[in-house]
Structure 1
Amino acid sequence: MTDIFIEGGHALLGGEIRETSLAIAGGEISAVDPDHSRASIGLDARGLKVLPGIVDLHGDAFERQMMPRPGVDFPIDVALVDSDRQATSNGITTVYHATTWSWEPGLRSGDNAGQLLEAIETLRPQLAADTRFHLRQETYNLDAEPAIAQWLSDGRIDLFAFNDHMESIVASAARPRKRAQMVERCGISNEEFDSLVQRVVSRADEVPASIARLAEAARNTNVRMLSHDDNSPAMREAFRAMGVNIAEFPINEETARAAAAAGDAIVFGAPNVVRGGSHTGWTKAADMIEKGLCSILASDYYYPAPLLAAFRLDVDGVLPLAQAWDLISAAPARAAGLADRGILAKGFRADIVLVDDEVPLRPRIVAVIAAGRLVHLSDASRLTHRSPGARRLQPREAALF
């Protein structure tokens, strides 16, 4: 790994932003405020913010690379590599690909989930971001239970979420456009879709026991769990009793308050903050943050959103940048059990983002370091030196200069 020296930036340290320099060696931050600049690569960070890399617990924008148009598929390895570039160029250095395994055929089928998992495992050493597998189990997907339990036992799942979109799917009959999108995604006819939904709904009484068994399997393997779209304090309490301690996108303030009172991590979507509200018309994330009812922001369906959201929260006076950045770095790292990242401190993983925030609400990523490697550089004038004895750059790194 290349030694890197970051000179003179305004770094987020101990809850405050102050001018300092950082030294990186062996993939870790080796010194804060070092008194020398001997390194293979030097970066001039003067006038820039130096921030911990973004930890994204829930991102499914990769689906657009897999299927950019309904019925138009691209190879999963191609989609993953493209998604990796998008994530890292937006400051995301730890990415959990939120993969839905539904009872549906098509994009969210078991075949696709399995192929994506295998591709992540195969490509992981080549990807710039620390790439992990977040499995989102549709709770009516009962036939998948044995395979998911095996994946959990084998340590192949990094985060595990319970989803239940059945009510909205049934209700989509009254929303022709939404229903058409679902049918298109599945790649089947309207009649086949209706028949499939009827068969799945007929097994509703089996769902609670399946959830309980899978939650036990996840607890036994120490996999952190999330529940998606909790709609009441009672629902949140029921999941918490099974060890599901992350509330993902609670749909009303009452449920978010119950989660916060119990000490649960609460995730909302960063696009919600950037756009000024939810695209579904549900809870406004900035309001929840202001009330202390959101502890984590995720990219959801748009990789640029976490960066933009943190700076918007600061500009809008909701949270100062140091606290806003915690929502996309240190807090998600804690929730996922990643004790080696999320802050800038000696001995921590060197996941670092250099940001030019001169233009309000339009922060620009200048450089990204992931596990001690320079993986993105948009301004080569910031590169101050490379020592003659430094190792040969890898193709991905050489392309930056």
Structure 2
Amino acid sequence: MASELILTNATVVTRTQSFTGTLRIADGVIRDVDEGPSGLPQAIDCEGDFIIPGLVDIHTDNLEKHLEPRPGVTWPGLAAFQVHDRMLATSGITTVFDSLVVGDLHLGKPGRKDALALAEEALAAADVDEDLFKADHRLHIRAEIASDTVMNELAEIIDHPLVALISVMDHTPGQRQWRDLDKWKRMYSRIYTAEELDSQIDGLLERQKNHSAPNREAVIAEARARGIPLASHDDTTADHVNEGHAAGILISEFPTTMEAAHAAHGHGMKTIMGSPNVVKGGSHSGNVGAAAMAEAGLLDGLASDYVPISMVHSAFILADGHGLPLHDAVAMVTAGPAGMVGLDDRGEIAAGKRADLVRVKTFHHVPTIMGVWRGGRQVA
């Protein structure tokens, strides 16, 4: 049949093992997974390359970089979205949760409402032409609960049909990611004078005291009323995790310490970290290493964060250098994230699953994307 695709002589990575085999895909679905080669003339010879599931990325800031390529400069939404989308596809990402912030992080600085509006504009275009984008796009709304504008901004986007994850975050200096005030000052000394840094800290602490607790409750209530999964961002202490678990949050996103990771697993919560952390050998912010969490059995998934190609790279690093079986390392960027957000139809090579697939060749120990299929259709 015309819609049938056969990939053979591939190193097939399923959820439980890797083997030389053949996949048959029809009508966008994996129909058969067999060991051994196929003799059919229409079969594509993968020459021993890996075939892994399409990557599922539930946290990427990549879109915002294209919507605002320089501070204060916005780019036309559809054009920015298309470049972002193609970058994801060529990185093997077939499902993406584009992460967009509601609420502002600093005093006197506007939030990112323009980015939200531009993203909505681009996604509306996809409704008109379903072939416009290569990846399957969802929205991950990141709610900055210390902001006095967060609830108004959330109200404008939360009922969009593509909103599929909400994370609760508080970037107030002096706690969580920024528990070390000196690191916060070093980070923002590029845009503030010493006097302005002190003024920001004082104002942000006062704002947190007034708004964080009620906004946290309100964001969680709005998400739960709509059945939208929730994540807690930058958990640092067991108390942070306990608070999230008590509120029904099931994902600890980017825990900053082993203490928080242990507490999350103790509650049955899932943990996800940024894949650049693995590639770079640790956190650029001085937080816990994702590879160390994986070795300790405390890591359930990885997200691209700010470098899309880091997802596939991180999986092979965990397999080659940190003792994880390849199928478990690949699950960190496929089945693991998919399961956190209820996408049970993808993230795994098995009969009946969506034919989201990536062909990978290793070159000088670096995984190289050779082909990408979403729903059985080649997109890269």
Short-chain TM bin: 0.7 to 0.9
The equivalent position to 2:313 in structure 1, one of 290, 293, 308, is 308
Q: Which amino acid aligns with 1:142?
A: D
TM-score (norm 2): 0.88
Q: Which amino acid aligns with 1:117?
A: E
Query: Deviation per CA, 1:301-320, whole angstroms, max 9, x where unpaired?
Result: 10111111111111114312
Shift of 1:128: 0.8
Q: Which amino acid aligns with 1:112?
A: A
The equivalent position to 1:127 in structure 2, one of 127, 133, 143, is 133
Structure 1 position 320 matched with structure 2 position 325? yes
Distance (whole Å) between structure 1 residues aligned to residue 276 and residue 370 of structure 2: 22
Shift of 1:37: 4.0
Structure 1 position 370 matched with structure 2 position 374? yes
Shift of 1:263: 1.1
- Secondary structure at the aligned position of 2:149 is classed as helix
Distance (whole Å) between structure 1 residues aligned to residue 351 and residue 123 of structure 2: 30
Distance (whole Å) between structure 2 residues aligned to residue 203 and residue 358 of structure 1: 49
The equivalent position to 2:172 in structure 1, one of 163, 166, 177, is 166
- Mapped contact 2:78–2:118 kept (Cα < 8 A): no
Matched with 1:267 is 272
Q: Which amino acid aligns with 1:323?
A: D
Structure 1 position 141 matched with structure 2 position 147? yes
Shift of 1:137: 0.7
Distance (whole Å) between structure 2 residues aligned to residue 12 and residue 281 of structure 1: 33
Q: Which amino acid aligns with 1:122?
A: A
Structure 1 position 115 matched with structure 2 position 118? yes
- Secondary structure at the aligned position of 2:173 is classed as helix
**Higher deviation after alignment, 305-314 or 105-114:** 105-114
Structure 1 position 57 matched with structure 2 position 58? yes
User: In the superposition, relative to structure 1, how do residues 205 and 177 fare at CA in structure 2: closer, same or farther (>3 Å)?
Assistant: closer
Indicate the RMSD between aligned Cα atoms, in angstroms. Answer: 2.8
Distance (whole Å) between structure 1 residues aligned to residue 138 and residue 239 of structure 2: 31
Distance (whole Å) between structure 2 residues aligned to residue 107 and residue 90 of structure 1: 32
- Mapped contact 1:286–1:318 kept (Cα < 8 A): no
- Mapped contact 1:120–1:133 kept (Cα < 8 A): no
Distance (whole Å) between structure 2 residues aligned to residue 314 and residue 154 of structure 1: 38
- Secondary structure at the aligned position of 1:166 is classed as coil
Matched with 1:396 is none
- Mapped contact 1:356–1:365 kept (Cα < 8 A): yes
Q: Which runs of 5+ in 1 are unaligned?
A: 185-189, 377-401
Matched with 2:188 is 179
Distance (whole Å) between structure 1 residues aligned to residue 56 and residue 295 of structure 2: 21
Distance (whole Å) between structure 1 residues aligned to residue 332 and residue 263 of structure 2: 19
Distance (whole Å) between structure 2 residues aligned to residue 171 and residue 283 of structure 1: 14
- Mapped contact 2:57–2:337 kept (Cα < 8 A): yes
Shift of 1:259: 0.2
User: In the superposition, relative to structure 1, how do residues 79 and 170 fare at CA in structure 2: closer, same or farther (>3 Å)?
Assistant: farther
Q: How does 1:1-400 map to 2 (within 5 A)?
A: 2-33=3-34, 37=40, 42-103=43-104, 108-123=111-126, 125=130, 126-149=132-155, 151-153=157-159, 155-167=161-173, 178-181=187-190, 198=203, 201-202=206-207, 204-360=209-365, 362-376=366-380
Shift of 1:272: 0.6
Distance (whole Å) between structure 1 residues aligned to residue 117 and residue 201 of structure 2: 21
Distance (whole Å) between structure 1 residues aligned to residue 346 and residue 183 of structure 2: 46
Query: Deviation per CA, 1:32-89, whole angstroms, max 9, x where unpaired?
Result: 23967486xx422121001001001111122222233333332222111111111111
Distance (whole Å) between structure 2 residues aligned to residue 357 and residue 174 of structure 1: 37
Shift of 1:217: 1.7
Shift of 1:20: 1.1
Query: Deviation per CA, 1:189-229, whole angstroms, max 9, x where unpaired?
Result: x9799579838834623321221122122112111111110
- Mapped contact 1:295–1:327 kept (Cα < 8 A): yes
- Secondary structure at the aligned position of 2:316 is classed as helix
Shift of 1:294: 1.0
- Mapped contact 1:230–1:236 kept (Cα < 8 A): yes
TM-score (norm 1): 0.83
- Secondary structure at the aligned position of 2:116 is classed as helix
Distance (whole Å) between structure 1 residues aligned to residue 6 and residue 22 of structure 2: 7
